[in-house]
Homo-oligomer: A and B are copies of this chain.
Amino acid sequence: MNDALKTAYQNLKETTPLTHCLTNTVVQPLTANVLLAAGAAPAMVEMPEEAAVLASVANAVLINLGTINHPQVEGIRAAAAAAQESGTPWVMDPVAIGALPVRTALAKELLANKPTAVRGNASEIMALAGGEGGRGVDSTNSVDDATAVARELAREHGCVVAVSGPVDYITDGKRAITCANGDELLTLITGAGCSLGALVAAYCGANEDKLVATATAHAVVGVAAQMAAARCEGPGSFQVHWLDALSQVDGDVLAKEAKVEWVEQ
């Protein structure tokens, strides 16, 4: 397995995938810095007329629903449609759906544009299948609660579904992978999960096997978090060391440190 991660990493480094992010304003700076540190090229364009153009030529698109407003929703629709039409891999991060009405309906609507992958916490993934959602951006369900739903969503929509948590569960409906890397400090900075979604897009843009690509993004984020946790004194310095570590995690580090396994469906 870890050889596959190493190859996926090398594919990203050789491609420097142009990753077009329509994401929430809270996490835009961190997301761009995570992509740069990890070897991708971020671009953030939201005006519908321009978002469609960029989504057609980018290597990957991320759509994150965290701070949607009416103008952005039009940009998101345009980018998702353009990505589908042009065959650009695209990832949906359905932030805080369930409790909030507009984004819940929008996330379900966007499934029609055939996302390559969907990444969320357990409550968000369950809400995509009709559940109630979590508390704000926090999950009120465990990853285990969501695995069956994730498999069904993946089969129904032909996409990868990633449930992030202490042990991540990633499935394409036929195969499944768990990733046990990471550190609790990731929950004490804003935007770690959202940045992971962007990195999933970047890896999908650089790799054919979208399940392995998604798992690699999770492993990179988690291994770097472990390195940062060992060096930091709190959430402020954790974020700094995490960005440093993201630029230091290469294929060899990944092959050695990743706790990624194939699991029975």
Chain A residues engaging chain B, CB cutoff 8 angstroms: 18, 20, 24-30, 32-33, 36-37, 41-47, 49-50, 53-54, 57-58, 66-72, 75, 96, 99-103, 135-138, 187-191, 232-237, 239-248
Pick the contact of A42 from B190, B239, B245 — CB < 8 Å? B190
B236 and A188 form a contact (CB under 8 A): no
Instruction: State the number of copies, please.
Output: 3
Pick the contact of A26 from B32, B54, B72, B187 — CB < 8 Å? B32
Q: Which residues of B contact A57 (CB under 8 A)?
A: 99
The 7 A-B residue pairs whose C-beta atoms are closest, nearest first, are A236-B243, A234-B244, A32-B190, A43-B136, A236-B240, A26-B28, A236-B244
A188 and B101 form a contact (CB under 8 A): no
Q: Which residues of B contact A30 (CB under 8 A)?
A: 29
Q: Which residues of B contact A27 (CB under 8 A)?
A: 29
Q: Which residues of B contact A188 (CB under 8 A)?
A: 36-37, 247
Question: In the complex, what distance in Å separates the CA atom of A41 from the CA atom of B101?
Answer: 20
A241 and B247 form a contact (CB under 8 A): no
Write the chain B residue with the least CB distance to A42. B190
B29 and A44 form a contact (CB under 8 A): no
Q: Which residues of B contact A29 (CB under 8 A)?
A: 26-27, 29-30, 190-191
B236 and A37 form a contact (CB under 8 A): yes
Q: Which residues of B contact A32 (CB under 8 A)?
A: 26, 190-191
Question: In the complex, what distance in Å separates the CA atom of A233 from the CA atom of B13?
Answer: 20
Task: Give, as a whole number of angstroms, the nearest-CB distance from A77 to chain B.
Answer: 14
Q: A189-B33, A244-B233 are in contact. Are A102 and B26 (CB under 8 A)?
A: no
Question: In the complex, what distance in Å separates the CA atom of A36 from the CA atom of B187?
Answer: 8
Pick the contact of A18 from B50, B58, B135 — CB < 8 Å? B135
A67 and B45 form a contact (CB under 8 A): yes
Write the chain B residue with the least CB distance to A39. B188
Task: Give, as a whole number of angstroms, the nearest-CB distance from A187 to chain B.
Answer: 8
A237 and B244 form a contact (CB under 8 A): yes
Task: Give, as a whole number of angstroms, the nearest-CB distance from A79 to chain B.
Answer: 13
Q: Which residues of B contact A25 (CB under 8 A)?
A: 25, 28, 44
Write the chain B residue with the least CB distance to A231. B233
Q: Which residues of B contact A190 (CB under 8 A)?
A: 29, 32-33, 36, 42
